[in-house]
Amino acid sequence: MEKKFLSRNYWMLSLGLTLALGLAAPAAAQDMSSFYVTPKIMASYQTVDMHTGDERSSVLGFGGSVGSDLSYSTSWPLRLEAEYLYHGNETFSRPTDCTIDLSAHSFLANAFLDLNTDTALTPYLGGGLGLAYLTDRASYGNATSKGSRWNFAWDVGGGVAWGLNENLALDLGYRYMDLGKSHDNDIGGVGYNVSLTAHEFSLGLRVMGF
């Protein structure tokens, strides 16, 4: 069951990235300045559903993306990105329940619609689909369990880019992200997993025309 689920997720991510690269190809053929890279840092406000109640925490993360701005060669105010993010490592616990150390990585294909304002500030809206990789270590008393799991992941959000010059822009973004569940921990013969979602605020530097 797990192998079939993983295979389906890989297929979906591969399809998304193929479509993104395929749509970006016409722009790339005409103008390499349509490409950009964006290293970024972020604050992730995470919520874990621990069955007996939600636990919340905040953690710092980082990552980056490679993208293409289709407006350079078409009339579409659209950007396509392939993105990797590390969502940090955090411990979630309840007084009468198990403690889980959880870390998450995501690999997404994103699309963004830019809202032109004819100023240095460009708001945008968008979202994406991809995969999340969660690793965890659960403990309850003297019993422990650890493992990892690939999940389907998605995000939706928006932000604003502040153009510093023709090649640089500060990118301030927000997203809501669903990273799926941890693997099924077996603690004392009882199966246990948690679901991870997050509100994330990011700051990136978009470097264009390299």
What's 201's domain CATH number?
2.40.160.20
Which pLDDT belongs to residue 188? 56
C-beta contacts of 29-34 below 8 A and 24+ residues apart: 30/72, 30/73, 31/72, 31/73, 32/209, 32/210, 33/72, 33/208, 33/209, 34/68, 34/69, 34/70, 34/72, 34/73
Cα 177-136-110 angle, rounded to 5 deg: 25
| Angstrom distance (rounded) from CA 33 to CA 210 | 6
Confidence at residue 105, expressed as pLDDT on a 0 to 100 scale: 96
Phi, psi for residue 118 in degrees, rounded to 5: 60, 30
In this prediction, residue 27 carries a pLDDT of 44
DSSP alpha helices (H): ranges in the chain?
Answer: 2-30
CA atoms of 82 and 163, how far apart (whole Å) = 21
Decide if 53 contacts 76 (C-beta within 8 A).
no
pLDDT at position 137, please? 82
Question: What is d(CA 115, CA 133) in angstroms, rounded to the nearest whole number?
Answer: 32
Q: What is the mean pLDDT of each run of 10 residues along the chain (210 residues)?
A: 49 53 47 85 89 79 94 89 93 70 93 95 97 86 80 97 95 97 65 82 91
In DSSP terms, 88 is beta-bridged to none
| Neighbouring residues of 5: CB distance < 8 A, sequence distance ≥ 6 | 150
| pLDDT value for 140 | 73
**Number of domains making up the chain:** 1
> What range defines the domain where residue 15 resides?
2-208
Q: How far apart are CA 112 and CA 125, in angstroms?
A: 6
Note the pLDDT of residue 172: 98
In three-state secondary structure terms, 200 is strand
pLDDT of 8: 52
Look at residue 124 in the predicted model and tell me its pLDDT.
98
